[in-house]
Every structure is written in structure tokens, then in C-alpha cells.
Copies of this chain bind each other. A is one copy, B any other.
Amino acid sequence: MKFLKIPAATITRLSLYTRALETLIKEQVTVVSSKKLAELCGVNPAQIRKDLAYFGQFGVRGVGYYVKELLFDVKKILGLHREWKLAIVGVGNLGCALVAHENFTRQGYRFVAAFDADPMKIGRKLVTGLLINPPNEMHAICREKQVEMGVICTPADFAQDIANRLVDAGVKAILNFAPTQIQAPEGVKVENVDFSVKLDNLAYFLTTG
């Protein structure tokens, strides 16, 4: 495989594969075929092989993939072999829940800073012991703590302003939970976790049958 542009969907699936592989390890399975893995992930076997082919050869013909090895390799591809430092902005109900959630703690995602505009919250600490800071200190604190990703959990109206501040503080990756489309400059990646859109999809499905 040469230097093709890798589809975003491939990266998303790789993430799914890591989860399935982790489950297999728990079940003490040592070898898995693309067929079996495909079943677990709900995709086509050829799809898996092709996804992996973008990055090299990981299987053994006639055998399959060694689970532990493959997990290690895929994690390395995704950049999950190291720890990532995150900041949370907006520690309302949702923000607090996220900081403690298994999805973050499971892998090497670690919150090293928290921000909120509410004067009642500033100076207090989260259950994890993390101090809540005012937004105007974002620049200084993010640089000091070397924050790499920002998680936005504010109401929609403030999301763009917060994103601008994060970008200004050198953050290159943003996970946005606010129900709004955020504009970011080239070189900064924004991923939206938009469950209102997903809900609307369900509503449409139920409406049309």
C-alpha cells in the first residue's frame, strides 16, 4: 500500500476494532480471523483487511491475526500508546459526568484542567480533585499544563467563544458536546458529539417506518 489518503471512516472503525480486541483478550482468545472480528464489529471482513492494509501487514495467511499483537499495533496507529492531556470547559451536570466516565478513564485520556464561567464554581474542586478555573486563565493554564485536547460542555451560545480561546491557547483538537457547528482554523480538528442529531435521526426513522 502506498501513501493513499486514509478515509475518516477507516479511523473510526479502527477504534471499534480496538474495543472488540480488548473484549477478546478478556476472553483469552489469542487468534482471530477477519471474519470473526467482522461479526463482532458488524462490518464486512474485507473491510477490516483493507482498513489494516493502509498501515501495513498484520495478519498471517491461513491463520488470522494475533489478538494481542494486533491490538498493540492498532492502538499505536491511533496514537493510544501514550497519554493525552485534556481540559474540560463547562462543568455542569454533563461536564462533571464526562470527567468521571469510563470512556475517558479507560484509555489514556486524562483531564488536567477544568474551566467554568460560573463565579459560584470557580475556585471549587471537582470530585476528582481538579480545580475549576475562570475562562480568562485558559491561555496560561493550558500552556502550563500542556493541554492537547479541549472538551466543550457549555451551552451552545458560548461554544464558539470557548473554541476560539482554546485554539488561542494552542489546543489543536476539540471535542464539542454543545449542539452547534464550531468554526476552527486549518490545523485544528473539531469532533462533534451531537446527540440531538442522533435523536432526530431516530425520530425520522419512527416517523417514516
A residues contacting B by CB (< 8 A) are 8, 11-12, 14-16, 18-20, 40-42, 77-80, 84, 92-94, 96-98, 100-104, 106-107, 109, 148-149, 155-156, 172-175, 177, 179-181, 183, 189, 191-193, 195-208
Contact = CB atoms under 8 A, between A and B. Distances in A.
Query: Across chains A and B, which 10 residue pairs bring their CB atoms closest together, nearest first?
Result: A79-B207, A93-B97, A15-B200, A103-B196, A173-B202, A79-B203, A191-B198, A94-B97, A15-B197, A189-B205
Given A98-B94, A173-B206, A181-B41, A103 B199 contact: yes
B193 A193 contact: yes
Copies assembled: 2
Contacts of A196: 15, 19, 103-104, 106-107
A16 to B, nearest CB: 7
Contacts of A149: 199, 202, 206
21 contacts: A11-B201, A12-B201, A16-B181, A20-B181, A78-B207, A84-B206, A92-B97, A93-B93, A93-B96, A107-B200, A149-B199, A149-B202, A172-B205, A173-B203, A173-B205, A174-B202, A175-B198, A177-B195, A189-B206, A191-B201, A191-B202
Nearest to A187: B209
A96 to B, nearest CB: 6
A205 to B, nearest CB: 4
A204 B41 contact: no
A21 B16 CA distance: 34
Given A109-B199, A203-B79, A179 B19 contact: yes
Nearest to A196: B103
